[in-house]
Amino acid sequence: MSKLKSFIAAGVAIGMAMFILTMPGKAGEVDFSNAAFAQAGELTSVPIGASVFCKANRGECAVNRNVVDATALDEERWAQLVNTNNLINSAIVPVTDIDYYRQDEVWAYPTDGYGDCEDYALAKRKALIADGWNPSTLLITVVRQQDGDGHAVLMVRTDRGDLVLDNQDGRVLLWSQTPYQYLKRQSQADASRWVDLIDNRAGLMVASSQ
């Protein structure tokens, strides 16, 4: 990355930090009906890739015994999100499952430096857990892109809203600031189960998948 691009990226990160960190909200006083939070619905089907991953990595998909509704976001936590997003986005070379594994929907940690969107999200989740984040606030989430294709991101539940770490965008944004239609995510209570997301935002320009 050039010095100019690094400067611009740093400016964007600082600007977003000022916006998000000054939003009202304190741990224990969070209004989850606020539009900054994605609303969850009922239990739903588990993506096949997630199901296979959980069978092979049962410790990664266990019931969360200590559920935290939302992590209190401060400057240190914000920096962890930005740095994790940038480091992993830079460290992994994007490749499709078809090209790499010769099959669809393989979820895996990108230990050899190659992976697709789910693998980026898994790596970010693992890194943030190592930094002390509660797993119940780090949720792999499936979305639909504007062209109709599926995509996966990491949704982070904070007291300032649900933030998104995305391999296609270096910024850490509120879920409502991204161009995706949100479909489902991991349950906070049990990482092996998934819940629908209710995304009724007006103006979503999501192309038909037909």
pLDDT, tens digit (0-9, with 9 covering 90-100), for 10-60: 444 555 555 566 565 554 578 899 999 999 999 999 999 999 999 999 988
How much is the pLDDT for 111? 86
70: left (phi over 0), alpha (psi -120 to 50) or beta: beta
CA distances from residue 78 to 29, 85, 157, 190, 201 in whole angstroms, order as listed: 19, 11, 12, 25, 26
Min mean pLDDT across 75-79, 96-100, 114-118 is at 96-100
- The domains found in the chain, sorted by start residue, are 3-23+40-198 (3.10.620)
The pair of three-digit structure tokens given for residue 198, joined into one six-digit string: 């209710």
- Return the pLDDT at 30: 86
Question: Which positions ≥6 away from 166 have C-beta within 8 Å?
Answer: 85, 153, 154, 173, 178
> Which residue in 193, 185, 197 sits closest to 62, CA to CA?
193
Element (H, E) at 154: strand 150-158
Question: Which residue is listed with tokens 């797993």?
Answer: 135
Compare 8 and 150 and report the one with higher pLDDT. Answer: 150
pLDDT in tens, 140-172: 999 999 999 999 999 999 999 999 999 999 999
Q: What is the pTM of this model?
A: 0.85
pLDDT tens column, 78-112: 999 999 999 999 999 999 889 988 888 899 999 89
Whether residue 206 is predicted with pLDDT greater than 50 in this model: the reply is: no
Question: Which pLDDT belongs to residue 35?
Answer: 92
Taking each continuous run of H as one helix and of E as one strand, the counts in the chain are 5, 9
Cα 206 to Cα 45, 47, 179, 180, 187: the distances in Å are 22, 21, 8, 8, 25
Per-residue pLDDT, 86? 97
Beta carbons within 8 Å of 119's beta carbon, 6+ residues apart: 92, 107, 108, 109, 110
How big is the CA angle at 193 (ends 178 and 139), to the nearest 5 degrees? 35
Which residue is associated with the tokens 């790499």?
100
Report pLDDT digits (tens) over 170-192: 999 999 999 999 999 999 999 99
pLDDT the model gives residue 13: 54
Residues 153, 165 contacting (CB under 8 angstroms): yes
pLDDT at site 29: 73
**Per-residue pLDDT at 51:** 96
Q: What are the Cα distances from residue 117, in Å, to 35, 40, 71, 207? A: 25, 22, 24, 20
